[in-house]
Amino acid sequence: MINFAVIDLGSNSVRMTITQINDDGTTKVTHQLKEMVRLSENMGAEKVLQKEPIERTLDALEKFETVYEKIPHLHIEALATAAVRVATNQAEFLKLVKEKVGIDFEVITGEREAYLDFLGVTRTLDVGKNCLIIDTGGASTELILVKQKQVAHLISLPLGSVTISQAFNLDNKIKASELFLAMTDVEKALTDVDWLVDAHKTNLVVLGGSNRTLAKIARRKIDAENPPDVHGFTLSSDAAFTIFAELVDLDKSEREKIPGLAKARADVIVGGLMPISLILRTLHIPQILFSNHGLREGALFDFVDKKQQ
């Protein structure tokens, strides 16, 4: 028996999932922890991780340590994504984490992140033979085109909820001019990906905090007391556009009051929903399928696959 822990250090949050892998191959999730650390906050054009976000991240990792240090037969995979990937002070940050918490983080490429998303999604949802998977994080967006249940293309774009929102002042009351410039910038980045035209009217599967917030808002409208699960939830593109339009009209304090929208995400949600909104619009995709599983589950499946081999 092995206890497999994945620590996923993203640009907006750090999460840890611990799964018990039994000798017969069965698995059971025993712990799921999440802390909003906003590591990519105010990195700016210089791409420097700032003191306060670093301190928040270290505090969160120390909380995680108090949990996993008591668990026997532990294997830890600590994966850092976009914010650390692009940081000019990456080496100093990783050294500090090692000194404070004793963890060696692996800084994975955007392509590796996208592949783990693919495993996490396709092993837990029936997505059909062909689909487009989108994972929008705090500082990157991963796109994976699946053809005949295999990865046909994948890419990681350096734009996400925090970076878009901060670059175009979308955190509070939104000016029409800033919204236009932001959407133009994101659309240019997306339409530069030539193979995206192959996803015209295909199945769309989405994950990442911002994208899942769409599902969380929509499902509360269906049943506020017992909302349906996010994993496997579907939403029409028209309903998604309506929610996005409502969010754009509100300031930060008003967005904080929306059921299903976490207060900590209210200042970055408009930027975070731009990639999916533009994908829906430009590719004429009629419906969204939501996944609650991605990188962490993908890392688990990858580990189990390698053990079996």
Question: Within 13 A of 180's CA, how many CA atoms are on the CB side?
Answer: 3
CB atoms within 10 A of CB 158: 14
Amino acid 44: pLDDT: 87
pLDDT at 223: 83
Low-confidence ranges of the chain (pLDDT < 50): none
Residue 4: what pLDDT? 98
Instruction: Tell me the two tokens of residue 288.
Output: 């969204």
pLDDT recorded at residue 145: 98
What is the model's pTM? 0.93
Q: Which residues are CB-contacts of 194 (< 8 A; sequence separation ≥ 6)? A: none
For the chain, report the end-to-end CA distance as a whole number of angstroms.
17
Question: Kind of pairing, strands 106-107 and 150-157?
Answer: unpaired
Instruction: Kindly state the percentage of the chain with pLDDT values over 70.
Output: 100
Domains along the sequence of the chain with CATH = 2-108 (3.30.420.40), 120-290 (3.30.420.150)
What is the structure's pLDDT at 41? Answer: 92
Q: What is the pLDDT of residue 309?
A: 79
Alpha-carbon distance of 161 to 163, in angstroms, equals 6
Answer whether 305's CB lies under 8 Å from 165's CB. Answer: no
Hey, is 15 helix, strand or coil?
strand
> Three-state SS for 4?
strand
Find tokens 């929208």 and name the residue. 261
Q: How far is Cα 54 from Cα 57, in angstroms, rounded to an integer?
A: 5
pLDDT at 226: 86
Task: Return d(Cα 189, Cα 159) in angstroms, integer.
Answer: 9
